[in-house]
Amino acid sequence: MGNPPPTELITPISDERRGEILDETLARRPDDGALRIFGYGSLMWSPCFDVADRRLSTLNDYHRGFSIWSVFARGTPENPGLGFALEKRAGTSCEGIVFTLPHDTARDDLVPLWEREMWTETYHPEWVTVDAGGEHCTALTFVVSTEHRQYAGNLPIAEKASYIAKASGKYGTCYDYLAQTVAEMRRLGVHDAEMEELLASIDALMC
């Protein structure tokens, strides 16, 4: 089995640091119109911001995985869970939702998103180009830092299933987190073979 990092090493960053990252990210925002967010995990079915429009889209050269340790949101120090992460990987692609936010969205409207995605610095915010039905547009998304201590890497499916089956945290079970995301992808007509295999492995384990 893989070894999660010691819990004391997984600590939230300060509100001040979180705000600095938000400001730095907005300062890097390309000047091409509407503010968009690309969601590839739970944001697809539970966005924490106002939405003016949403469209199925594809992000090329990035891979969706279940590859970060969770000891708070969907797990505990005793029974750590895992979470979604987006990782740069040439030749792959990730289907998700690109959300267009209202034109009057202000900096403070993004604070709930930052508190959710940037609780630690497991992710780094990145402006990417997504393909939304043939239309290419810029969107903000959160890419995993593979050097961060919460990065679990590409664990075997059976090992992931073992962790997920018994993990639960402040926001519910790790299983539901995965299952709801897979259900939303199915509803959208998105087939993610890796996530389907992972969910099936957990279902078999929990029978």
Residue 86's DSSP bridge partners are 64
* Sign of the dihedral through C-alpha 177, 50, 64, 17: negative
Number of H helices, E strands in the chain: 5, 7
CA distance 143 to 67: 12
Angle separating helix axes 193-206 and 157-166, nearest 10 degrees: 60
- Active-site residues, by number, are 117
- How distant, in Å, are the alpha carbons of 2, 6, 78, 142 from that of 115? 28, 22, 24, 13
Task: Determine whether 174 is exposed, middle or buried from the number of CB atoms within 10 Å of its CB (0-12, 13-18, 19+).
Answer: buried
The tokens for 118 are 């940037």
Is residue 133 within 8 A of residue 55, CB to CB? The reply is yes
